[in-house]
């Protein structure tokens, strides 16, 4: 009876396992992020109004700092979570400033997987990506934003 129960439980555990879809696994390289942004500097005037943004170096493929319509600042890695090692896998703010999408602008739009992401929380709005963008912590201290990968 014990052998039968053991066999049943073993089959149950094995049967509940499934192949993991690694096409969208979290392959982000661990990086140290610490940015200090002085909002009074001319380079950051785009951040003074909601839906304003800037691109900064850092993270894996750069960082988007975005001023949401909720009057908060958020920061996301520019690496698309679908195929983060692809050369084209950059996330950019759409020309309407209302969402992010996978691809980048040169003289025109160059799509990669063309997934779209919510600018406030980085969640997937449409497309092939299954994971949200990698988000960084943003703390505001007066007119300074501190962006880090740890709280």
Q: Which CATH number covers residue 80?
A: 2.102.10.10
Is residue 6 included in any domain, yes or no? no
pLDDT in tens, 108-124: 878 889 899 999 999 99
Is residue 15 included in any domain, yes or no? no
Round to whole Å and give the CA distance between 114 and 102. Answer: 5
Is residue 18 included in any domain, yes or no? no
CA atoms within 13 A on the CB side of 40: 4
Is residue 110 included in any domain, yes or no? yes
| pLDDT score at 2 | 58
Is residue 96 included in any domain, yes or no? yes
Q: How many domains does the chain have?
A: 1
Distance of CA 149 to the CA centre of its chain: 12
Is residue 141 included in any domain, yes or no? yes
Spell out the per-residue pLDDT of the chain, length 151, in tens.
555 544 444 444 444 444 444 443 456 778 899 999 999 999 999 999 999 999 999 999 999 999 999 999 999 999 999 988 888 889 999 888 899 999 877 778 788 898 999 999 999 999 999 999 999 999 999 999 999 998 8
Is residue 24 included in any domain, yes or no? no
């Amino acid at each position: 009876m014990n052998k039968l129960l053991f066999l049943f439980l073993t089959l149950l555990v094995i049967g509940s396992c499934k192949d993991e879809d690694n096409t969208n696994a979290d392959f982000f390289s661990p990086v140290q992020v610490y940015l200090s942004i002085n909002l009074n500097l001319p380079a950051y005037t785009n951040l003074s109004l909601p839906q304003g943004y800037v691109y900064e170096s850092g993270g894996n493929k750069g960082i988007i700092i975005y001023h949401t319509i909720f009057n908060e600042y958020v920061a996301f890695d520019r690496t698309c979570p679908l195929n983060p090692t692809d050369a084209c896998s950059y996330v950019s703010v759409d020309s309407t400033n209302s969402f992010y999408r996978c691809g980048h602008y040169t003289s025109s739009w160059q799509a990669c997987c063309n997934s779209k992401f919510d600018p406030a929380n980085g969640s997937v709005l449409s497309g092939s990506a299954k994971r949200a963008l990698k988000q960084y912590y943003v703390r505001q201290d007066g007119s300074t934003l501190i962006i880090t990968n740890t709280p």
